[in-house]
A and B are shown apart, each in its own frame.
Chain A
Amino acid sequence: MELIKLEDIYKTYHLGEIDVPVLKGVSLSVARGEMVALMGASGSGKTTLMNILGCLDRASTGRYWLDGQEISGLSSDELANLRNQKIGFVFQTFNLLPRTSALENVMMPLSYTPQGLPAREVRERCAALLQRVGLDDRMDHEPSQLSGGQQQRVAIARALVNRPPLLFADEPTGNLDSRTSEEILQMFGQLNAEEGITIILVTHDAGIARHAQRVIHIHDGMIEDGTGADEPQGAQAPRAAPGAQPPRRPEASP
């Protein structure tokens, strides 16, 4: 079953008089449980696409189904709720709250869930997640007392706290050394394999993209035909069906 389905997405920025088209008809789909890399040079529209996929931005035209829900027409409050419930974000710069303990950083998204959890359950869930990312002895440390890899683990725990089906990682290893990068990427692989979380890695580094089951290349606002060639270890890709043939209309949705 498809978790993400984009249909003919266009995105145009209006800078004064000039219209800057960034996405020019992107269609793709990502199945549940996939680990996909989104690759492209800077200026290719990669970030814009990620923002649209992550419900942070809206497409100018086109349709987007997330988890079977058409989201193009949702209000910004509904989008916020969707982000809270269904999407976890991991950023290149970690974006942890300064001078706030790891545990509280992980707890932060829960304060925006509409159905509030009891304080004790919140604590237990967050502690368990920190344990899952191997930081059970660092719960009370503040970001400044943690190494880059540890900070990124806290960020991963924070992204998972609402048990989202979808995890976005925007250059998650950009600020890490190669060894730590490897650890983090392994953790993504683990989460994908063990928990069945769909992961989208946004990167410009082919070495990182290799960890994904499928690579989607974006170039100049369009998905490049990368159907099979770039699939590094596509052994267990649940659906071979290519999600992206930009110029053509995709198959009719079920």
Chain B
Amino acid sequence: MSTTNTQQQLINAFSTVLPADAVLYNAEDLHPYECDGLSAFRQIPLMVVLPETVEQVQSIIKTCHQLQVPVIARGAGTGLSGGALPLSTGVLLSLAKFKQILDIDPLARTARVQPGVRNLAISEAVKSHGLYYAPDPSSQIACTIGGNVAENSGGVHCLKYGLTVHNILKLDIVTIDGELHSIGSDALDSPGYDLLALMTGSEGMLGVIVEVTVKLLPIPQQAKVIMASFDDVYKAGNAVASIISAGIIPAGLEMMDKLAIKAAEDFIHANYPLDAEAILLCELDGTEIEVNEMIPLAEKVLRDNGATETRLAKDDIERAKFWQGRKSAFPAVGRMSPDYYCMDGTIPKSELGNVLQQIADLSKEYNLPVANVFHAGDGNMHPLILYDANIEGELERTEEFGAKILEACVQAGGTITGEHGVGVEKIDSMCVQFKSAELSQFHAIKKAFDPDTLLNPGKAVPTLHRCAELGAMHVHDGKLPHPELPRF
């Protein structure tokens, strides 16, 4: 069946359940959906549908299942790994119209929301009850809760308050047969397997999320932030370990290196010290008593580890300014270079110095500058490689450089992605992190939910053949990875 025929069949089927303006198939209407936050990868979808009821989603998915057409779900499209990259043969299912906060229960400290509700909108809606939704990815002003669940998004407060998986209670999902399932519960546990954990971070490959019940936390009475300057990134890394060893769990503990400091300072004027090799932002929150107890202790630990200066934000305005510099680090770096490529590896904190050195060496080797910004408290690094896509071959060199950083993270006992997801971007690096049997197990999980591989196919988990072909290009120690596979 030709693409045109399939498209016509889909249009006919969808027109019975959706209004005409919720089915897009003209080229000019499809362009805005060609990529997500990873704009280096682009593809025009076969068509876009914009349902607004769960029944419509079920009907769309049933039709796609019958016609064996791939379905790619999309929230706000802020993802950084190409998880919502369309397929030319697939339907892009936008959940943008699912914007309702359905219920807020202040006593139970929960909110039931549709997947297209923005992350920050939840905290804003419950603020009057003294509550908030804890995970705060830097894109929280735009990203949606459905996408957060699909990616298991993090943010700067994960060490103390957890990731998305720790802050949701219940999901309604539609599986590829069009069936609606409720997983998790309003209680603290559910009988059977932990499908809630399995769905979280599954990148739209197991089901489409149509409702989310989130946990809400009480807003801390007080939050204070210390900015510490260091003349050496190693010292800053050691200070991170010492703070944790002292029994302090900061609400946020972020590090920026010299290039990132300069970029943020030029952009935001947060009064960052331009002569420092690294700064740490250490936020402590809680009751007034505990914050006041912890601040002097944290300042002492930072100074004992060689901080050249520690500065306590004098009020909430200065505190917001310190954070604004950090949260704007990506666009700030974007002003220094035509393009940048953001990595997302996570490593044990003790490996920080080692991996930073490897990144510095690779930066020299590839002759591409790197600005380092990271969630130091949980070892999640975001090296930003500066490049110019207009220079021929530079994007390819950047991707190769990025893949080497991720290999270094895996070798250091870490992972290729802490919070951005695999998507299409890091799919080859999955071959470095996992063995064939593990990848096969992932494919078996996928088949249990989606036997025909129609939900977001080709993302997150590489085929064994892809890894074998890649392995043939990267032979380590004379050993071929995945030696059990036939080669051609």
The answer to whether A and B belong to the same complex is no
State the B residues within 8 Å of A (CB). none
State the A residues within 8 Å of B (CB). none
